[in-house]
């Protein structure tokens, strides 16, 4: 069965959200538009709507997270769902319980949706394939494979600042090789019709088949960010690196760290993004991270609206199917 079939219900609507791969521009635009309708809720005195009242959402994070886990929880609560946060380190996983047995036990508690982060690529697909028919699965990051809600909150941020994707030049800088975020961003940017996507980094941190992803490749930061509208910086993902791919962090910063003077090569109104966590003085200088062109904390706020959109769309599709 294709990934697309797994993600979409029989009516073609989103049932699981596992990857950007195979999703149409219409579905991605629908997610962005739905998120747009949710942004105002954060400004209200009572920051809640009853869309998922009575639904149970379980956060299953087998890997560390600050932004993704908490914004999923805030988003679920704003939709009035009941939220379970399974603490993996104190769960029976530590006693040898398999992922499938954990899943079956949580399903027995009538969970309607799993939000999954896992170090293994494909873990969210695995859970989606084995979940009960009424259950939705959202991928919150699996290995180096995909982080689709991060990509969508990034697309939301770009659309808010720059409008249409046509005519935009977007640069993604750094450790592309180990980045699930970059993979999802490239797919989303291309699906949404971005004019030019550039990947910039040392040869050792760019995938060998980078050009087949529909991007332009640069090994020099000053050259690569020339005249771009958006600069997306990435963290060095040392937890996924095997062997020495870099001389030192200091040397990496000299060559690929974003500083104020380097940013002058981009367009004057270029925005600077980063999925977080940031490593100051490694991939980005504090002056840039905290500067006027940085939209890094806006990305976090928009993450709530995007996650509300994805969860409500997936649950809406399930409710429709149950009728
Ligand atoms: N961007 C992101 O996934 O951050 P966390 O690891 O803190 O969730």
Domain boundaries, the chain: 3-147+301-322, 148-294
Taking 50 as the pLDDT cut, the residues of the chain under it are 1-4
Same fold, 3-147+301-322 and 148-294: yes
Q: What is the pLDDT of residue 1?
A: 44
CB 176 within 8 A of CB 199: yes
CATH topology of domain 3-147+301-322: Rossmann fold (3.40.50)
Q: Output the pTM of the full model.
A: 0.95
322 Cα to the center of ligand 1, angstroms: 33
Q: What is the pLDDT of residue 239?
A: 73
To the query of whether residue 95 is one of the catalytic residues in this protein, the response is yes
Q: What is the pLDDT of residue 158?
A: 98
CB 266 within 8 A of CB 228: yes
Ligand 1 lined by 237 (C-beta under 6 Å): no
Report in angstroms the alpha-carbon separations of 247 from 175, 223, 235, 236: 14, 22, 16, 13
Q: What is the pLDDT of residue 166?
A: 97
173/203 Cα distance (integer angstroms): 12
Beta-sheet pairing, 169-173 with 216-218: unpaired
Backbone angles phi, psi at 23, to 5 degrees: -90, 145
Ligand 1 lined by 276 (C-beta under 6 Å): yes
Pocket perturbation via mutation, ligand 1, pick of 150, 179, 182, 237 by most ligand atoms within 8 A of CB: 150
Beta-sheet pairing, 216-218 with 136-142: unpaired
DSSP H stretches of helix in the chain: 3-7, 25-38, 67-78, 99-107, 123-130, 148-162, 180-191, 221-224, 249-256, 260-263, 286-289, 296-322
* Burial of residue 254, with CB atoms counted within 10 A of its CB: 0-12 exposed, 13-18 middle, 19 or more buried: exposed
First to last CA, the chain: 25
Q: What is the pLDDT of residue 317?
A: 67
48/46 Cα distance (integer angstroms): 6
Q: What is the pLDDT of residue 238?
A: 74
Q: What is the pLDDT of residue 286?
A: 98
Domain 148-294 has CATH 3.10.20.30: no
Report in angstroms the alpha-carbon separations of 18 from 38, 176, 246, 318: 21, 20, 31, 16
120 Cα to the center of ligand 1, angstroms: 16
For residue 117, which atom of ligand 1 is closest to its CA? 8
The number of helix segments (H) and strand segments (E) in the chain equals 12, 9
Residue whose CA is at the smallest distance from ligand 1 atom 6? 65
To the query of whether residue 323 is one of the catalytic residues in this protein, the response is no
Q: What is the pLDDT of residue 248?
A: 85
| 197 bridge partner residues | 170
């Amino acid at each position: 069965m294709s990934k697309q079939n797994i993600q979409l219900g029989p009516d073609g609507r989103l049932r699981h959200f596992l990857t950007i791969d195979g999703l149409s521009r219409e579905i991605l635009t629908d997610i962005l538009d739905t998120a747009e309708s949710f942004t105002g809720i954060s400004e209200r005195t009572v920051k809640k709507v009853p869309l998922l009242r009575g639904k149970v959402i379980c956060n299953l994070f087998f890997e560390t997270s600050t932004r993704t886990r908490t914004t999923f929880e805030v988003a679920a609560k704003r939709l009035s769902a009941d939220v379970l946060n399974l603490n993996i380190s104190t769960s029976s996983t530590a006693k040898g319980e398999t992922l499938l047995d954990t899943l079956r036990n949580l399903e027995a508690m009538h969970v309607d949706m799993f939000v999954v982060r896992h170090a293994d690529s494909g873990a969210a697909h695995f859970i989606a394939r084995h979940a009960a028919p009424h259950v939705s699965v959202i991928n919150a990051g699996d290995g180096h494979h995909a982080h689709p809600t991060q990509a969508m909150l990034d697309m939301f941020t770009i659309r808010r600042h720059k409008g249409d994707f046509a005519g935009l030049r977007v640069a993604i800088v750094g450790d592309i090789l180990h980045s699930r975020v970059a993979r999802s961003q490239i797919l989303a940017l291309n699906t949404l019709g971005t004019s030019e996507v550039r990947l910039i980094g040392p040869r050792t941190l760019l995938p060998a088949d980078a050009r087949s992803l529909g991007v332009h490749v640069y090994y020099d930061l000053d050259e690569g960010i020339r005249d771009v509208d958006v600069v997306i910086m990435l963290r060095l993902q040392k937890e996924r690196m095997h062997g020495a791919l870099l001389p030192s962090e200091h040397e990496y910063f000299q060559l690929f760290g974003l500083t104020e003077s380097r940013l002058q090569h981009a367009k004057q109104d270029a925005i600077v993004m980063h999925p977080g966590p940031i490593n100051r003085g490694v991939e980005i200088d504090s002056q840039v991270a905290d500067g006027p062109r940085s939209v890094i904390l806006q990305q976090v706020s928009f993450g709530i609206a995007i996650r509300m959109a994805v969860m409500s769309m997936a649950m809406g599709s399930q409710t429709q199917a149950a009728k």
